[in-house]
């Protein structure tokens, strides 16, 4: 189990300390660090994480303001040199509050809480029914994620291709369905979403799923290759 994290602090020394500490924890991966909260907000819109390390006092936007503006609920560990912010931080359901300067041992206590919460949430998700509810005509239809071959956008509708060889037309936007689908489903084109686990090969900006070939859109290519580790 790997907990993916980002860190935001307007002081480089604070980020360097977090990089050092995170590098010593096997279950923690610090994906990226930010000096500017605005850049972190843009990143979070595209790349989900399981933990945020967040400095409270920053000139353009405080850590508390930043966390309130994050659309997804992401566990947070606040860092600051001033304890008076702790109460408001915990009112935002912060996992922990690290008072600068903090030791590695104290840091480890905080991230252990993050690991515990992530394990609970992961187990809860695995116990939930893995299906998507969509409106087809005048009815709500339940579709199991495992049955979806790929999803195609047709103006105001989505064409959901199934393993049966049939498809369903759902009145739903690509943006909306992306927020509903699990992480295995990735948008590779303005008109296509594919299950990552079903990709057989990628060649000449085309994804081969075995039963169909799907183009990779120019604006999605960089993120897709990043996902592949290339």
99 has a pLDDT exceeding 50: yes
46: confidence class by pLDDT, cuts 50, 70, 90 = confident
58 has a pLDDT exceeding 80: yes
Mean pLDDT estimate for the chain: 87
Higher per-residue confidence, 104 vs 71: 104
Q: What's the pLDDT at 118? A: 79
Rounded distance between C-alpha atoms, residue 178 and residue 182, angstroms: 8
Buried-state track 163-174, b at ≥16 Cβ within 10 A, e below 16: eeeeebebebeb
89 has a pLDDT exceeding 70: no
Least Cα distance to 16 among 74, 100, 90, 94 occurs for 100
pLDDT tens for each residue of 123-169: 655 545 588 888 888 788 889 998 999 999 997 799 999 999 999 99
Higher per-residue confidence, 214 vs 75: 214
Q: What's the pLDDT at 72? A: 66
CB 3 within 8 A of CB 118: yes
Residues in Cβ contact with 177 at an 8 Å cutoff, skipping those fewer than 6 apart: 132, 134, 151, 158, 170, 193
pLDDT tens for each residue of 167-182: 999 988 898 898 889 8
Mean pLDDT value across residues 57-72 = 83
| Domains of the chain with CATH codes | 3-127 (3.40.50.2300), 131-228 (2.40.50.1020)
119: confidence class by pLDDT, cuts 50, 70, 90 = confident
Q: What's the pLDDT at 105? A: 96
186 has a pLDDT exceeding 60: yes
Q: What's the pLDDT at 227? A: 79
Q: Which of 150-154, 199-203, 213-217 has the lowest mean pLDDT?
A: 199-203
Least Cα distance to 101 among 87, 80, 76 occurs for 80
Map residue 47 onto helix, strand or coil.
coil
16 has a pLDDT exceeding 80: yes
Buried-state track 14-28, b at ≥16 Cβ within 10 A, e below 16: bbebbeebbeebeeb
Mean pLDDT value across residues 84-93 = 62
Mean pLDDT value across residues 34-44 = 93
Rounded distance between C-alpha atoms, residue 15 and residue 176, angstroms: 34
């Amino acid at each position: 189990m790997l907990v993916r994290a980002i860190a935001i602090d307007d002081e480089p020394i604070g980020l360097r300390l977090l990089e050092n500490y995170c590098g010593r924890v096997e279950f923690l991966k610090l994906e990226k660090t930010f000096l500017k909260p605005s850049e972190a907000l843009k990143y979070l819109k595209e790349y989900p994480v399981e933990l945020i390390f967040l400095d409270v006092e920053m000139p353009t936007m405080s850590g508390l303001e930043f966390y309130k503006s994050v659309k997804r609920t992401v566990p947070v560990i606040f860092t600051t040199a001033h304890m008076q912010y702790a109460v408001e931080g915990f009112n935002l359901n912060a996992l922990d509050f690290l008072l600068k300067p903090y030791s590695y041992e104290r840091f480890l206590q905080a991230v252990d809480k993050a690991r515990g919460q992530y394990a609970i949430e992961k187990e809860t998700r695995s116990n939930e029914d893995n299906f998507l509810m969509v409106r087809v005509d005048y009815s709500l239809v339940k579709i199991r994620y495992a049955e979806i071959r790929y999803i195609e956008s047709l103006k105001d509708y989505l064409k959901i291709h199934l393993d049966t060889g049939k498809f369903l037309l759902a009145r739903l936007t690509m943006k909306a369905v992306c927020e509903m689908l699990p992480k295995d489903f990735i948008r590779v084109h303005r008109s296509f979403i594919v299950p990552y686990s079903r990709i057989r090969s990628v060649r000449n900006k085309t994804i081969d799923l075995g039963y169909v070939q799907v183009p990779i859109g120019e604006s999605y290519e960089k993120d897709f290759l990043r996902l592949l580790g290339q």
